Structure 1
């Protein structure tokens, strides 16, 4: 509108600032746990928090890998417990003073572990005290009742606060307070561990699709190639929507070099890494999480391992590297190190992570420009923001020019043809040159006599 009266008109334009990218290095671990609800992805930021929520018994597959990951500086672990098919949870029925069922307590964790939970009920007819313990933790609920209209209603209190059990009202025919549980000291029973199958891992991976921060996925203590193929397929699927991920898998205990190398003949992928020997998966996952996305794991030491399950000879290491397997080796003065950080396609892990970071960054920038690209000015602004993002990557050392200086670290072109414009399409062409780990040093020594 043209102003009639003299004055100043001010227009405020908010600059488009791309959102911060999701943190790099969040590891998802799938496997069995001592406690915790099955198929519920749960983030933890320390081993102490993991032990509190999922237990510390190393007879369960996730525990050892989670400990190794935190010992190696993992940013965050997302735990997805699996319990297996035909598994059941331990239960205990509390009865009122007339012997009628009034409350059903059910363990939150599946299997025999739930059978360890002890329950003690004390008190008089009007108010009771309930104690729940699994040997490591103790929960006490004072002055609870079976009066459903009370703020101390036992069923609601336990369901809201307990980390070990859930409660279900059995609707005793007695009226309050006669439906309060009678004094008793009992133990949950009937919990049976189910048989872990391929379907359980498929269900866990489905749940992980809703966790956008995850960029490393591992099935703990699993050497089955079919499960590895599931993880690789999941990572490929997620990369379609710029939720790029890399899967990790372990070899079997005592597996021969021939069998290890045969694994990559059926699955050569930038999205999957096979770790050898057995027992190092969590340490490698933690190392990858700790490193910047543009840093290679090659020759980096891992922590938390006293020794390797198997020591490979140089010729065996060479065979595995040629096949696309990531081996670890104990070196004097260095500790246990990753010999070379490669995926099953023999591509360097750092190169894949740099490309993934570029994809995420371009998507994050482009999302903010949707609906504003119908003019050359809008498209130029998009190009400028993408160039700005790649300049940051260049300053970090993630992308580099060619050694002769003739090729730049990145190229960006934003355009829309007449047909594209009619269909509401803008195209972005990008080329990047990820920095590669310099794995070999050739020395020439001149001797003057």
Structure 2
């Protein structure tokens, strides 16, 4: 990640800013729910494995519940309790015909068709209007190259999608994953289920740390996978069931880390640390380079506001951790100088065009913002309260909730869309904010 260039700005406190961090400021421990990315991959791996897998502390949210419901539709046995889910695997893949509604979930909409392709039967997948807009084409083109019979029923490269499955032989395929790493993850997960294995050559890749999550989890479920630069080799052989603990969601933790950085407080998130799978934990490196104080231990991360009371400005490349781009954008007005976030074009094809959504909402708050195709620059300011246009995007809500700590009176046109990844976010964030200094 590019080290930001510090830009000098007006010194002193912004009006309404909290008192700079005190040496005796208390550390507040926040329990963050399980990772959405890890839970989705674990559900796929469990369904594909020989035996019964137990997931410990999986994320229960609209996205992951949708994924589990999709598995049920495909004929898998899924038992869900509060902190433990059990999935009975079918290494031969689903059999029979089924229709699956993927809701808003990108992992559901991209991973489950690939799982179905490994089985036998006719499968139809559809999704919400929001998910229908998001591209699927690079993945389905690769599946066609592997001999999978599929048909986009309306717009080419988008849901709804029908697959007439008869297993996948495997072979070599070339993939462009420049819009989403999920295309590559889906094919990697498929590899051990093919008859002859897969060799995937990637021409472009965004959010590379998510692929590392996939590789590590495949190995935990008994698969062999090798990477040589942009070539991934996955032999056939299937998966073995496991008892798999789901680590806390690093993207969700970013809102609490950012909150500490701009309020002069401290927060500790247990369960994430030096061995964490998720690349989005690198968001704390961004905060540290902008002046926050960060401690990463084996099993926890602590972030505190900067010693000088204000983050610095600078330029940050967030290509590999783009889900945390809105988090940084939402706190950027409180920095001492402009913050420029670059190489984040893929944020334009998420639940909404996040780059434009951040810019528009910051302008609503009276903040000076400039944007380009793949960058956004936010200048220091004193945001005024306004209603945030969420575009049904959970990350827009949670990011601007952090802004609200310094700008009381901010509201949201759809606060409930956080159910996608963190149904109890508002209660948990309010409880943290209400904790006495």
Between Structure 1 and Structure 2, whose CA radius of gyration is higher? 1
* TM norm structure 2: 0.26
Give the TM-score normalised by structure 1.
Answer: 0.26
Q: Which has the higher helix share?
A: 2
Higher relative CO (Cα under 8 Å, sequence separation at least 6) belongs to 2
